[in-house]
C-alpha cells in the first residue's frame, strides 16, 4: 500500500458514505470522496463527486453501489489506471488513464477546446437547461508528486 501526505479536502465528505462504511461489510468504500454542491441562484444545482481512487479495478463494484443509492450529477475520478470504466447512466469523458469525468447522461455536456498540456486532465462543460443559467465547467487534474511543478501554466 502506498503511503504519503494526506491531501487536503476541498469539500465535506458525503454523510451517506460514512453510513455505508459503518453498516456495510465492504472494505473499499471511498470514505474520503469529496462532494461539491453548487446551488447559486444564477446556476443550476448540481452535485459533483471527486475521488482519487488509486486504481478503480477492485473498487468499481462499490462505486456502482454508491451511485445507485445516491446519484451524483457528475463523478470525477483520478488515478483510475483504466479507460474501460462503465457506469450505467453516465457518459464518459477521459483523455488519459489517470483522469476521467462522468456526467449523468441526462446532462448536456461538451468538451471545450483547450491548449495541449503536459498535465493529465479531463475538462468539460455542462450546459444549462435554460438560457438564464450559466454553464458549469469541470476540470479533473492529476499531477503525481514526482511531477511537481513550480507553476502550472494556464490552460
Strand partners, 25: none
Q: Map grid coordinates 449523468 to a residue.
A: 104
CATH number of 88's domain: 3.60.10.10
Q: How far apart are CA 60 and CA 122, in angstroms?
A: 19
* Residue 3 clears pLDDT 80, i.e. is over it: no
| Contacts (Cβ under 8 Å, ≥6 apart) of 66 | 16, 17, 20, 29, 30
CB 98 within 8 A of CB 120: yes
pTM: 0.66
C-alpha distances in angstroms, 3 versus 6, 57, 97? Answer: 9, 19, 21
Residue-wise pLDDT tens digits, 84-105: 788 889 988 887 788 888 899 9
Residue 5 domain-assigned?
Answer: no
CB-based burial label for 151 (10 Å; 0-12, 13-18, 19+)? exposed
CA distance 15 to 21: 10
Query: Looking at the 3D structure of the chain, how many domains does it have?
Result: 1
Residue 115's domain comprises 15-147
pLDDT in tens, 42-99: 556 788 898 888 888 888 888 888 888 888 999 999 988 887 788 889 988 887 788 8
pLDDT in tens, 4-28: 444 333 333 333 333 333 333 333 3
pLDDT number for residue 104:
92
Residue 6, domain member (yes or no): no
User: By the 8 A CB rule, do 74 and 49 touch?
Assistant: yes
Does residue 7 sit within a domain? Answer: no
Residue 30 inside a domain? The answer is yes
CA distance 43 to 139: 17
Amino acid at each position: 500500500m502506498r503511503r504519503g501526505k494526506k491531501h487536503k479536502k476541498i469539500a465535506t465528505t458525503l454523510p451517506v458514505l460514512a453510513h455505508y462504511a459503518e453498516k456495510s461489510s465492504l472494505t473499499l468504500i471511498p470514505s474520503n470522496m469529496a462532494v461539491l454542491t453548487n446551488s447559486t441562484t444564477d446556476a443550476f444545482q448540481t452535485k459533483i463527486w471527486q475521488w482519487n481512487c488509486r486504481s478503480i479495478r477492485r473498487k468499481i463494484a462499490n462505486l456502482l453501489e454508491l451511485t445507485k443509492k445516491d446519484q451524483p450529477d457528475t463523478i470525477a475520478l483520478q488515478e483510475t489506471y483504466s479507460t474501460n470504466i462503465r457506469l450505467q447512466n453516465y457518459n464518459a469523458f477521459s483523455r488519459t488513464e489517470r483522469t476521467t469525468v462522468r456526467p449523468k447522461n441526462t446532462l448536456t455536456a461538451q468538451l471545450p477546446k483547450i491548449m495541449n498540456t503536459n498535465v493529465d486532465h479531463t475538462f468539460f462543460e455542462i450546459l444549462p437547461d435554460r438560457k438564464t443559467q450559466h454553464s458549469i465547467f469541470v476540470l479533473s487534474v492529476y499531477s503525481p508528486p514526482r511531477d511537481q511543478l513550480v507553476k502550472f501554466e494556464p490552460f
